[in-house]
Amino acid sequence: MPLSVGGVYQFTDEQSHHAKVLRLRQETVRLVHDGKAFTAQITETGRQYQAVVTAEDPAVNELPVQVTLAAAMIRKEKFELVLQKAAELGVTRIIPLITSRTVNRPEEDKQKKIYVRWQSILEEASAQCERNRIPVLEKMISVNKLPVYKQAQNLFGYERGYEKSPQLGDVLKQEDTLIVIGPEGGFTDEECDMFLENGFSMVSFGNRILRAETACIYALSVIGDSMERTNR
């Protein structure tokens, strides 16, 4: 729903429920639509909540470049943690990957329900950290289809790359970036070769082997810090 100063935003039933649980009464909230943010004053009418838009919020709480995270599917609760933290760290797009060593492979008939939950996680995390946009969540794809999502800068983490690959922070440029993180057990040699043949660069996250979810959070933290420092 488009927003404009003086307009009224009607909360959904779910949003009204959250507002009631939080006991919001005539509070100022931040609403976002199509990348623009607004401040609004909440009012309660019975069980429903609405907010009168009072002003445009000029703050843009996004990274200066687009960052895409391609993350291999891992255990349910860990992947949901990755989604939450990726949204908080400013990622633009998330691509769930199926790799040779992926254990968690949701059946197709269950994916719709899973995606509804994932989208909710992204929306809540984005609202909590006052982002202007919610990350785009792509459909699950096989790792060999990933090259179609290439950006200006394309990197993949390799847990055995400490001695032969540069550190992630040493190669980053101020440009749109795709970072690829593997599952528990990492990428196979064949998958690494596929990345290299398609113009991806191998990077190291240090001399310790990180869990898949930790690697995602580490990589996005380093990328976000680098991009925001350079853009100051």
Q: Where are the domains of the chain?
A: 8-57, 67-230
Per the CATH hierarchy, to which homologous superfamily does domain 8-57 belong?
A: Hypothetical PUA domain-like; domain 1 (2.40.240.20)
The answer to whether domain 8-57 and domain 67-230 are alike in fold is no
Around Cβ 12, how many Cβ atoms within 10 Å? 10
Around Cβ 102, how many Cβ atoms within 10 Å? 19
Distance, CA of 122 to CA of 209 (rounded, Å) = 27
Whether the per-residue pLDDT at 162 is higher than 60: the answer is no
Compute the average pLDDT of residues 126-154.
95
pTM for the predicted model, two decimal places:
0.85
Write phi, then psi, for 107 (nearest 5 degrees): -65, 150
Reported as a single tens digit per residue, the pLDDT across 21-78 is: 566 666 777 777 777 778 788 877 767 777 878 888 887 889 999 999 999 999 999 9
Could you tell me which CATH class the domain 67-230 is placed in? alpha beta
Distance, CA of 10 to CA of 123 (rounded, Å) = 17
